[in-house]
Amino acid sequence: MQAVQFSRFGGPEVLEIVDLPDPHAGPGEIRIRVRAAGVNASDWLKRQGLMDPDLPQTLGYEAAGIVDEVGDGVPAVSAGDHVFGASMYGAAQAELAVLSYWAAVPEGLAWAEAAAIPAAAETAARALDQLEVQAGDTVLINGASGSVGSAAVQLARERGARVIGTASPATHDMLRTLGAEPVAYGDGMLARIRDVAPSGIDRALDVAGNGVLPEFVTLTGATARVLTVADFAGAQQTGVRFSRGDTGRATYALAQVAGLAAQGRFSVPVGRTFPLADVAEAHRVGEAGTVRGKLVLLVG
């Protein structure tokens, strides 16, 4: 099969499309013929040598496609089913991918939209679980317009929480459609948040990683009420929790979001798609930050 790989660290130019042996589904796993695969910031961090020192490396933790192999002990899945999900092997940007957890693609959801769901939905649900967000809470989501932030907005609203989302003004109309009350980034942001929520903030989730954790601790009144998925250094400095996948994954979120999407109650912002062969350009665009929404590679 063809797959994205790099054999040295560096810029997007180190990315190659290479032939690799076909993977196979183990017990509790399925294999799909990939139709679309998500691109994440962790991809260029890996490519730059900031995550894993080993070489060569493949890329991709989320994909959507058609089941063509089912491992032992997997119920209710058959060859030909359309699914989206996550690969624990980091090799989903390829013609074939083995998924560790998955859900059926809802009717009417495009491949690119389905491939954009897994990482955002799981990260958002895990963070909300760890913050213990519940009905009646006022939740602040910093960086609410991106893929993880918008998923967190919608899932927090599903829990019955009031959501205030910080983002650039150009995204505020979109945030309102998701059920959030938008607040602009920049000088005076804390005052604007207090104006919108004079009774206070119960929980705060940082998705943007722009150095606001001390202010969020002040807003909520306790480090335990703040969580970040984007600012590891800030978490160490402030005592705020940093959420990562090895602390337990919210795998149930895929089926939940699939159900919501089927009812028109969950939208997935896809910013731009690229052929698999143009993965280097996808990295350039992603690192430049010029496109809002998820970047997705189309395969086949």
Q: What is the CATH number of the domain that holds 154?
A: 3.40.50.720
Over range 31-35, report the average pLDDT: 98
Over range 224-251, report the average pLDDT: 90
Share of residues in the chain with pLDDT > 70 (%): 99
Higher pLDDT: 264 or 273? It is: 273
Predicted pLDDT at 271: 92
Please count the CA atoms within 13 angstroms of the CA of 39 that sit on its side-chain side: 30
Predicted pLDDT at 123: 94
Predicted pLDDT at 247: 64
Domain that includes residue 287, residue range: 2-116+268-298
Q: Phi, psi at residue 132, to the nearest 5°?
A: 60, 45
Least Cα distance to 243 among 212, 207, 218 occurs for 207
> The domain that contains 31 carries what CATH number?
3.90.180.10
For the chain, the average pLDDT equals 95
Q: Are 99 and 30 in contact (CB under 8 A)?
A: yes
Across 138-152, 238-252, 277-291, least confident range: 238-252
Amino acid at 246: D
Indicate whether 145 and 213 sit together in one domain: yes
Judged against a pLDDT cut of 90, whether residue 237 lies above it is answered with: yes
Please count the CA atoms within 13 angstroms of the CA of 184 that sit on its side-chain side: 5
Q: Are 2 and 94 in contact (CB under 8 A)?
A: yes
Over range 204-224, report the average pLDDT: 95
Q: Predicted confidence band at 248 (pLDDT cuts at 50, 70, 90)?
A: confident
Indicate whether 33 and 96 sit together in one domain: yes
Judged against a pLDDT cut of 70, whether residue 279 lies above it is answered with: yes
Indicate whether 164 and 274 sit together in one domain: no
Predicted pLDDT at 72: 97
CA distance readout (Å), 39 to 20, 27, 54, 112, 251: 20, 27, 20, 11, 19
Predicted pLDDT at 244: 80
200: left (phi over 0), alpha (psi -120 to 50) or beta: left
- The tens digit of pLDDT for each residue in 50-93 reads 888 999 999 999 999 999 999 999 999 999 999 999 999 999 99
- Whether residue 240 lies inside any domain: the answer is yes
Over range 10-35, report the average pLDDT: 98
Q: Predicted confidence band at 246 (pLDDT cuts at 50, 70, 90)?
A: low
Judged against a pLDDT cut of 80, whether residue 245 lies above it is answered with: no
Q: Are 69 and 220 in contact (CB under 8 A)?
A: no
Predicted pLDDT at 270: 92
Indicate whether 151 and 93 sit together in one domain: no
Distance in angstroms (rounded) separating the CA atoms of residues 232 and 244 = 10
Indicate whether 37 and 151 sit together in one domain: no
- Whether residue 234 lies inside any domain: the answer is yes
Distance in angstroms (rounded) separating the CA atoms of residues 58 and 255 = 27
Judged against a pLDDT cut of 70, whether residue 153 lies above it is answered with: yes
Predicted pLDDT at 289: 85
- Whether residue 285 lies inside any domain: the answer is yes
Q: Are 121 and 268 in contact (CB under 8 A)?
A: no
How many domains is the chain partitioned into structurally? 2
